[in-house]
Amino acid sequence: MTYTENNTGEFFYGLIRGIAQTSDGTMWFALQSNGLLRYDGSSWDHLTIDDGLPSNDAHYLTVDQHDHVWIAFGVPPYGVAMYDGTSWTAYDQSDGFEAYLVHTIFADSAGRVWVATTSGSTDAYISKFEDNQWTSYNYENTNGNLFRQISAITEDDDGVVWFASETGNYFVKYDSGTWSSQETDRSNVTIRTMTFDTHGNLWTNWSDDGGASVLWQGEDFPVVENARWLDDVHYRATYGVTSLVPRGDYDVSVSGARSASAIMSGTQTISLPAGDIPIPPETRFGFTVDYAGEISDRTAPEAPSVIAGGKEGDPTTVEAMWWADDPDSQITGYRHAIGSAAGATDIVNWTFTSDDSLTRSGLGLVEGQQYWLSVQACNAGGLWSPSGYSAFIAGWPYPRIFLPLVVRNH
């Protein structure tokens, strides 16, 4: 179905610059130089300055968390106007809003409304509407991060608001009151629209001539398995790539390190006056994740069932068996650990195996003392189950049940 002035009965001419929808399903259309059109599913309404709009030059639309419709105008000095379902409220410079020339408008998940403007030929501003008042930002109060016109705004899943520069070579970010910027390898590309996908990647238009571009943000995967200090300055940990890690290029970032607070000189400990200060995060190495085929199992298996016991006459030995199942893919392996409490690994750290049973001796267990065996199962997606546990007492075998054999006579 195509709508024009011929079948709407309204003034449906002029370039459509913005489209938005309120929660009741009503569609709103911003018409350059011709006001707004409103469609409720059955009839059209045409709204102009006669209906309370401060200008007919409608350029951009958004709907906030309160279901208010916001419209930004392209001709100075008109800034933006908000429709609360009953009437329009207009905002300009007298309200603390930098309202010379508006370039885009965006409503975030926190209920704030962001407007990008310029004053003159070079001065860039971002105005934020929050708690019924405007706050404007420029080069001075963004720590120098805002120094070019902003042409598009979006928000990621963490609530960070992203602003694209008109030149396309950097993004400005607002995160809980803190401003920062991020450079890109592009230049002279005006980003007019952008959005994040479900994996956290930022998609934008490539140029006015066509095409799209993506900034691969991806997800963070903490490397914490088998973590240990090899010596005072070397740390080692591992991460098993699973079906939850998408194909792509990744960087290894190290953060949270602090400088040494003291050094050893012979048998003396010398304190360092400038020690114990945070070391900036560093990203130095990269790698690519790729694999053949497609793994559809993205859920971990259930915890294994585990039976463990000691061995009579030999308290240093443990015997065990376990079993696990996954309805979506096969079980490819197990890992087990032994400790003095459920989940502890102080006797034997996590050990990988393809077997579903265990006999291990020489552990130095104390006869009559209780210990715990933990077992986890891994599926074809590389995902590990929660631990299954079995307590056992050193030197005490686990109970065995023998069923009688019944033979039927013919």
CATH of the domain at 200: 2.130.10.10
Does one domain contain both 85 and 157?
yes
pLDDT value for 12: 62
Determine the Cα–Cα distance for residues 18 and 25; give it in Å rounded to an integer.
Answer: 16
Does one domain contain both 317 and 382?
yes
pLDDT value for 197: 86
pLDDT value for 107: 97
Does one domain contain both 270 and 204?
no
pLDDT value for 143: 86
251 Cβ partners below 8 Å, 6+ apart? Answer: 283, 285, 286
Does one domain contain both 268 and 333?
no
Q: What is the pLDDT of residues 348-390, one digit of tens each?
A: 999 999 999 999 999 999 999 999 999 999 998 888 999 999 9
What is the total count of domains within the chain?
A: 3
8 A C-beta contact, residue 318 and residue 340: no
- Find the DSSP H helices in 79-171: none
Does one domain contain both 269 and 340?
no
Q: Which helix (H) or strand (E) holds 8?
A: helix 5-8
Tell me the DSSP string of 289-344. E--SS-----SPPPPPEEEEEEETTEEEEEEEEEE---SSS-EEEEEEEEESSTT-
Determine the Cα–Cα distance for residues 124 and 100; give it in Å rounded to an integer.
Answer: 10
Does one domain contain both 110 and 71?
yes
CATH code, domain carrying 320: 2.60.40.10
pLDDT value for 278: 67
pLDDT value for 207: 62
Does one domain contain both 28 and 116?
yes
Does one domain contain both 275 and 352?
no
Determine the Cα–Cα distance for residues 154 and 114; give it in Å rounded to an integer.
Answer: 10
Does one domain contain both 94 and 44?
yes
Determine the Cα–Cα distance for residues 28 and 81; give it in Å rounded to an integer.
Answer: 14
Could you tell me the residue range of the domain that residue 167 belongs to?
Answer: 5-215
Does one domain contain both 176 and 268?
no
Domain assignment of residue 119, yes or no? yes
Of the candidates 326, 353, 325, 323, the one whose C-alpha atom is nearest the C-alpha of residue 337 is 353
Does one domain contain both 63 and 188?
yes
Which regions of the chain are under pLDDT 70? 1, 3-13, 75-77, 99, 120-122, 168, 185-189, 206-211, 216-220, 224, 255-256, 260-266, 269-270, 272-279, 281, 400-407, 409-410
Does one domain contain both 142 and 210?
yes
pLDDT value for 237: 82
Domain assignment of residue 332, yes or no? yes
